[in-house]
């Protein structure tokens, strides 16, 4: 298996030129709305070969990969091939991935029980240890400049994003603490409302959007240069962020609600338009139950049947009886996986709605279990996504904006604002 540090063919263009193309500075005008083509057939062999070339030529950033929490639960050395999970170095190199944002995730339950900050620090320690153990493969990236430098050196960057703002623990000095440790975006909430924001998954909406502390936090994140991530928050919280933030924000791993009506975790068209007006970017989540309504309905039916069985038999979800029930149920009614085309439809929808400058990749690898679409099962498969985009008529320059250019632009704007405030 080739490695980034040894495979110099990935850098056939000078790095400044590659990044200029990624940031849309080549002067090429987007015509994606006219270019998008029928997708009844798979990508051609030529398109697949071109896709592999693109993947190895340009910087690919994925803003949400849940490796740290996966390794907290069951450690593996991801600098080598691993038997489990969606990410390891060899597979990432094969897929062309250069900048997987390591998700520093804390479960929502810790908001009440305590320990969020302790766990977040522990997970950051883990990422730092991974880098120290394989300095020929991995490097931390605290800025866009370091991202570029690592790319030029053939190293895989590990930028850090915090999923769930619970570790801030109501103290703005903790924001500075985590910035100093490398956190460059914060997902304000997760599956439950916290001291910062209401959650899209939570029927309880105590703040009616952002809390007063949450509003202060958004302002301070702007000043410090930490990107605000609106994935997971309630719709009201999203619009309050839009009203407060002075810089573009990101949705680090969300998809288009157009295809999943009623699923608040995804963004509806008005929200995507507001995000684009703000200059932000939606990074498309690959999980089948984010992408496909059929998958959502299949999974909801499964959960309802399981809950009914548990209640009727007074069983806990971790019992052997429930595990047997799940196996029997799925043998009869298998999980419905999304397809690569389903994922591409989300990219197309955002592009048609607001333009090529406002969409990117936030796969949620290692975060959505065994629900990834056919053709996008792990970090080796970004060329499949690229080939699909080529097939639908996207130009190389447009694809590079999706791969990293749009996200780098937003990150740079956050850095520039912080430098002047």
What tens digit of pLDDT does each residue of 384-410 get? 999 999 999 999 999 999 999 999 999
Are residues 343 and 319 both part of a single domain? no
- Residue 229 belongs to a domain: yes
- Residue 375 belongs to a domain: yes
**330: how many CB neighbours lie within 10 A of its CB?**
11
Position 36 pLDDT exceeds 80:
no
Cα–Cα distance between 182 and 180 in angstroms, integer? 5
pLDDT-derived band of residue 124, with 50, 70 and 90 as boundaries? very high
Supply the pLDDT for residue 183. 98
- Residue 34 belongs to a domain: no
pLDDT 10s digits, 276-331: 999 999 999 999 999 999 999 999 999 999 999 999 999 999 999 999 999 999 99
What average pLDDT does the chain have? 92
pLDDT-derived band of residue 43, with 50, 70 and 90 as boundaries? confident
Q: Output the domain CATH number for residue 138.
A: 3.20.20.140
Are residues 195 and 268 both part of a single domain? yes
Query: Is there a contact between 52 and 385 (Cβ–Cβ < 8 Å)?
Result: no
Q: Among residues 312, 336, 360, which one ends one of the domains?
A: 336
- Residue 24 belongs to a domain: no
**238: how many CB neighbours lie within 10 A of its CB?**
26
Are residues 317 and 361 both part of a single domain? no
Are residues 47 and 94 both part of a single domain? yes
Are residues 220 and 246 both part of a single domain? yes
- Residue 10 belongs to a domain: no
Are residues 360 and 309 both part of a single domain? no
Position 375 pLDDT exceeds 80:
yes
Are residues 134 and 194 both part of a single domain? yes
Supply the pLDDT for residue 40. 55
Q: What are 331's two structure tokens?
A: 């043998």
Are residues 356 and 383 both part of a single domain? yes
Cα–Cα distance between 56 and 3 in angstroms, integer? 11
pLDDT 10s digits, 212-249: 999 999 999 999 999 999 999 999 999 999 999 999 99
Query: Is there a contact between 178 and 168 (Cβ–Cβ < 8 Å)?
Result: yes
- Residue 83 belongs to a domain: yes
pTM above 0.75, yes or no: yes
* Over residues 36-44, mean pLDDT: 62
Cα–Cα distance between 390 and 396 in angstroms, integer? 8
- Residue 128 belongs to a domain: yes
Q: Among residues 276, 305, 336, which one ends one of the domains?
A: 336
Structural domain count of the chain: 2
Q: State what percent of residues in the chain have pLDDT above 90.
A: 89
pLDDT 10s digits, 2-18: 333 333 333 333 344 44
Are residues 262 and 328 both part of a single domain? no
Query: Is there a contact between 186 and 228 (Cβ–Cβ < 8 Å)?
Result: yes
* Over residues 406-421, mean pLDDT: 98
* Over residues 180-184, mean pLDDT: 98
Cβ contacts of 3 within 8 Å, gap of 6 or more: 89, 93, 136, 137, 154
Q: Nearest-CA neighbor of 210 among 194, 227, 198?
A: 198
Are residues 255 and 329 both part of a single domain? no
Are residues 315 and 343 both part of a single domain? no
Expressed as residue numbers, the domain containing 45 is 41-291+338-419
Are residues 330 and 361 both part of a single domain? no
């Amino acid at each position: 298996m080739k490695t980034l540090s040894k495979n110099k063919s990935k850098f056939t263009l000078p790095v400044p030129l590659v990044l200029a193309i990624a940031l849309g500075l080549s002067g090429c005008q987007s015509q994606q709305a006219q270019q998008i083509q029928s997708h009844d057939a798979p990508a051609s062999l030529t398109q697949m070969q071109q896709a592999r070339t693109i993947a190895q030529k340009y910087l690919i950033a994925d803003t949400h990969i849940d490796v740290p929490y996966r390794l907290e639960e069951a450690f593996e050395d991801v600098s080598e091939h691993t038997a489990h999970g969606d990410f390891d170095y060899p597979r990432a190199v094969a897929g062309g991935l250069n900048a997987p944002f390591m998700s520093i995730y804390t479960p929502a339950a810790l908001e009440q029980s305590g320990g969020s900050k302790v766990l977040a620090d522990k997970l950051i320690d883990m990422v730092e240890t991974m880098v120290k153990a394989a300095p020929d493969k991995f490097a931390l990236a605290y800025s866009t400049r370091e991202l570029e430098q690592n790319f030029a050196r053939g190293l895989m960057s590990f930028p850090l994003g915090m999923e769930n703002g619970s570790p801030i623990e109501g103290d703005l000095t903790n924001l500075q603490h985590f910035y100093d440790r490398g956190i460059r975006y914060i997902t304000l909430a997760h599956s439950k409302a916290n001291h910062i924001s209401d959650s899209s998954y939570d029927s309880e909406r105590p703040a009616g959007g952002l809390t007063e502390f949450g509003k202060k936090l958004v302002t301070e994140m702007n000043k410090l240069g930490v990107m605000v991530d609106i994935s997971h928050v309630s719709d009201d919280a999203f619009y309050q962020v839009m009203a407060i933030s002075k810089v573009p924000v990101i949705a680090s791993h969300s998809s288009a609600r157009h295809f999943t009506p009623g699923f608040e975790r995804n963004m509806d068209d008005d929200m995507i338009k507001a995000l684009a007006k703000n200059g932000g970017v939606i990074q498309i989540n690959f999980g089948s139950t984010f992408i496909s309504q059929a998958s959502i309905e299949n999974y909801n039916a499964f959960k309802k049947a399981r809950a009914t069985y548990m209640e009727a038999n007074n069983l806990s979800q971790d019992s052997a009886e429930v595990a047997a029930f799940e196996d029997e149920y799925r043998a009869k009614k298998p999980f419905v996986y999304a397809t690569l085309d389903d994922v591409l439809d989300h990219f197309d929808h955002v592009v048609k709605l607001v333009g090529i400058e406002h969409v990117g990749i936030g796969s949620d690898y290692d975060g959505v279990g065994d629900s990834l679409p056919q053709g996008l099962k792990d970090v080796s498969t970004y060329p499949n996504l690229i080939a699909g985009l080529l097939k639908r008529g996207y130009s190389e320059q447009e694809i590079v904006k999706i791969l990293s250019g749009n996200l780098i632009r937003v990150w740079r704007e956050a850095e520039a604002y912080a430098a002047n405030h």
